[in-house]
């Protein structure tokens, strides 16, 4: 060692008798390089510990590396996709350079790195993808040495290994051959980068797995929600069908809609509404309420502020019965309405064969309670209700037609007997009349013939009335009221029936006060009533008896009476006198049992009343009233 050369004494105490050892300058420089390598590896470790991405961390890594390595270009190939999964055939390429490498040389270096990567991963062919990293403005703190001599290698490629498998490669190109220390540093840097990349890929995989798990969970939740909604829709549809089936069964179970409609309202409340009202426009001019059911919803305040109290007091569809005038002109299948305190209101007209039979109103305290499916359900229910009511009305008309047909037959068998009997008796009187002067015989014969013609006219009118009833298919013939003199009615009725009374030596007495007001009545129908009452009196009064007809004004009505001196009617028979086809037992004279029933219906059609007062062994008096014509 030459004099003046720097010496480095070894640290620690020398052994006894030994002289201090001197360290050569070359060894000192090697130790200095090793310290620098360790310091830079430490900095690289800190940089890679906060690894963010290759695009940001790899250039920073190389900036630190070139402070101790004579590197002018670096190529990183990662056989991993964005999710952290291996795609060795398509590595992601990142190129870094100091800017001192020509484009041709950089392209050759990249191709060499790709070839070496393919060899390391065992792939026949690779297709790199990616972009060049940000270039540095110039070299760092080291001086670019001379190009390598004697053909020494100026590049090196190290595999990136994780769990014993190559997933990438780091290729660097230096300006000269690297010594052992530089190679060890480069190897350590590559290992740290591989570990950082592996952590980064693992984090990617974990994030992506978590995202996939969350996506699968969202899909599962959506599927469960769809399943729940589908199940709910099926349950709701089943509930609606069950309700509609129950309502239909209730409607078809009876032809009495007055009994079935309240049952429908009870099915609707509280399952489908808090209040239900059904009004029909059949008899009453403004509508008739057939059903009204309400239930107090949960949470409603008590007293006058309750939902039901307000609905019954002020709701326009509930407090006041519906009428045809209150319906919408558009005649919509479902009418919606909103008022303060009544958020959900539906009204459905009941229509059948172009006629509005009524309306059904549904009220609920819950807002937005009725959706399109509910409206379709209630519309179908309204159609069924309308069909049931229409069927009941048709059945009533059919029964009425049958009743009138039976009554027509009964009238024919009953009311034609009296005029036919008059015709027969007058004809017999003509035949049995005693010989008399020619003029007297001619007058007597003329009188009997007039009575026969009158009876024939009465039968003709009666037959015309029967034909009228048959023509309108069971609907009663309307009355044709007109002002009539009571005395004239009595005279016409007794004139026809007098031959029957004379045949039994009975006396027909008519007592009418002078100046008596006229009555408003249908002439033919009232004569039919008088014929029934006087005919019965003649029939059941014994020979030599008296039948008296009277008329007087009582309480603003004309009271007409037919009194006989017959045997009277027993108390047990009086309640049944005016029933159809009823006949008293033990009577010698047997009729059809329709005369008094027909007379009662005619009097009531005139707005009057027919009744009887009787005592057994004394006789009976039949009364009926008619409206008088005010002067």
Report yes or no: 92 and 184 within 8 Å, Cβ to Cβ: no
- Within 8 A by CB and 6+ apart from 507, the residues are 501, 545, 546, 547
Supply the pLDDT for residue 82. Answer: 82
First to last CA, the chain: 169
Distance CA 605, CA 261 (A): 31
How do residues 144-181 score in pLDDT, each as one tens digit? Answer: 334 444 445 478 899 999 888 899 999 998 888 888 88
Q: What is the mean pLDDT of residues 412-438?
A: 66
In the numeric block, the tokens 């609606």 are attached to 240
Distance CA 519, CA 486 (A): 7
What the block records as the tokens of 278 is 């059904």
Q: How far is CA 187 from CA 75, 180, 265, 274, 276, in A?
A: 15, 10, 90, 83, 88
Which region among 202-211, 266-275, 282-291, 381-390 has the lowest average model confidence (pLDDT)? Answer: 282-291
On the question of pLDDT at 330 being above 70, the answer is no
Burial grade of 350 (CB within 10 A; 0-12, 13-18, 19 or more): buried
How do residues 560-605 score in pLDDT, each as one tens digit? Answer: 999 999 999 888 888 888 886 666 665 555 555 667 888 898 899 9
Residue 132 pLDDT grade (very low, low, confident, very high; cuts 50, 70, 90): very low
Q: What is the mean pLDDT of residues 286-297?
A: 86
pTM, two decimals, is: 0.48
Distance CA 62, CA 288 (A): 97
Between 238 and 598, residue with greater pLDDT = 238
Mean of the per-residue pLDDT values for the chain? 81
3-state secondary structure of 471: helix
Distance CA 350, CA 554 (A): 47
Residue 204 pLDDT grade (very low, low, confident, very high; cuts 50, 70, 90): confident
Range among 50-64, 401-415, 436-450, 467-481 rated most confident: 50-64
Distance CA 558, CA 561 (A): 10
In Å, how far from its chain's centre is CA 251? 19
How do residues 259-283 score in pLDDT, each as one tens digit? Answer: 999 999 999 999 999 999 999 988 6
Report yes or no: 513 and 478 within 8 Å, Cβ to Cβ: no
Supply the pLDDT for residue 225. Answer: 94
Whether omega before 322 lies within 30 degrees of 0, making that bond cis, reads no
Distance CA 381, CA 372 (A): 14
On the question of pLDDT at 446 being above 80, the answer is no
Which region among 332-336, 429-433, 496-500, 502-506 has the lowest average model confidence (pLDDT)? Answer: 429-433
Between 366 and 431, residue with greater pLDDT = 366
Burial grade of 364 (CB within 10 A; 0-12, 13-18, 19 or more): buried
Residue 473 pLDDT grade (very low, low, confident, very high; cuts 50, 70, 90): very low
Which region among 272-286, 484-498, 617-631 has the lowest average model confidence (pLDDT)? Answer: 272-286
Between 11 and 188, residue with greater pLDDT = 188
Supply the pLDDT for residue 455. Answer: 72
Range among 95-109, 322-336, 606-620 rated most confident: 606-620
In the numeric block, the tokens 């009118």 are attached to 461
């Amino acid at each position: 060692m030459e004099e003046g050369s720097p010496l480095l004494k070894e640290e620690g105490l020398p052994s006894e008798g030994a002289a201090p050892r001197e360290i050569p300058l070359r060894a000192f420089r090697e130790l200095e390089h090793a310290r620098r390598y360790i310091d830079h590896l430490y900095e690289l470790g800190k940089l890679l510990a906060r690894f963010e991405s290759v695009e940001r961390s790899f250039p920073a890594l190389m900036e630190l590396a070139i402070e101790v390595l004579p590197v002018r270009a670096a190529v990183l190939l990662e056989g991993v996709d964005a999710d952290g999964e291996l795609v060795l055939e398509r590595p992601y390429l990142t190129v870094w350079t100091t800017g001192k490498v020509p484009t041709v040389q950089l392209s050759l270096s990249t191709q060499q790195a790709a070839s070496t990567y393919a060899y390391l991963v065992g792939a026949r062919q690779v297709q790199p993808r990616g972009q060049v990293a940000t270039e540095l403005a110039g070299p760092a703190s080291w001086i670019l040495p001379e190009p390598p001599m004697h053909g020494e290698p100026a590049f090196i490629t190290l595999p990136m290994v994780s769990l014993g498998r190559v997933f990438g490669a780091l290729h660097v190109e230096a300006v000269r051959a690297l010594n052992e220390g530089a190679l060890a540093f480069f190897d350590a840097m590559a290992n740290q980068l591989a570990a950082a990349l592996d952590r980064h890929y693992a984090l990617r995989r974990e994030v992506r797995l978590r995202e996939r798990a969350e996506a699968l969970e969202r899909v599962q939740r959506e599927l469960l929600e769809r399943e729940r909604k589908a199940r709910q829709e099926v349950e709701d549809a089943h509930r609606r069908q069950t309700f509609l089936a129950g309502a239909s069964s209730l409607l078809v179970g009876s032809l009495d809609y007055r009994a079935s409609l309240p049952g429908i309202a009870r099915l609707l409340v509280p399952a489908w509404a808090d209040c239900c009202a059904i009004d029909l426009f059949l008899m009453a001019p403004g509508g008739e309420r057939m059903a009204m059911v309400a239930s107090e919803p949960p949470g409603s305040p008590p007293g006058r502020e309750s939902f039901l109290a307000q609905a019954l007091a002020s709701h326009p569809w509930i407090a006041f019965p519906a009428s045809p005038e209150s319906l919408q002109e558009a005649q919509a299948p479902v009418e919606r309405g909103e008022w303060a305190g009544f958020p959900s209101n539906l009204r459905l007209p009941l229509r059948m064969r172009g006629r509005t039979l009524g309306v059904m109103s549904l009220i609920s305290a819950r807002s937005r309670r009725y959706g399109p499916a509910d409206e379709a359900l209630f519309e179908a229910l309204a159609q069924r209700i309308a069909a049931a009511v229409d069927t009941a009305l048709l059945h009533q008309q059919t029964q009425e037609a049958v009743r009138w047909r039976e009554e027509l037959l009964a009238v024919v068998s009953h009311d034609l007997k009296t005029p036919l009997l008059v015709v027969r008796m007058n004809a017999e009187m003509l035949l049995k009349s005693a010989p008399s002067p020619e003029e007297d015989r001619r007058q007597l014969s003329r009188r009997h013939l007039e009575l026969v013609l009158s009876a024939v006219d009465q039968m003709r009118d009666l037959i015309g009335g029967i034909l009228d009833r048959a023509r309108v298919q069971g609907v009663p013939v309307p009355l044709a009221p007109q002002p009539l003199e009571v005395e004239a009615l009595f005279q016409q009725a007794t004139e026809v029936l007098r031959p029957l009374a004379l045949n039994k030596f009975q006396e027909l007495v008519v007592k009418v006060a002078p100046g008596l007001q006229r009555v408003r009545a249908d002439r033919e129908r009232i004569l039919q009533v008088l014929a029934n009452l006087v005919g019965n009196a003649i029939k059941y009064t014994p020979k030599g008896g008296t039948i008296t007809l009277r008329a007087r004004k009582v309480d603003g009505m004309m009271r007409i009476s037919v009194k006989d001196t017959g045997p009277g009617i027993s108390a047990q028979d009086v309640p049944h006198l005016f029933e159809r086809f009823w006949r008293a037992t033990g009577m010698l004279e047997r009729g059809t049992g329709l005369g008094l029933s027909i007379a009662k219906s005619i009097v009531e059609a005139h707005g009057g009343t027919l009744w009887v007062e009787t005592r057994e062994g004394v006789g009976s008096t039949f009364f009926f009233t008619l409206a008088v014509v005010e002067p």
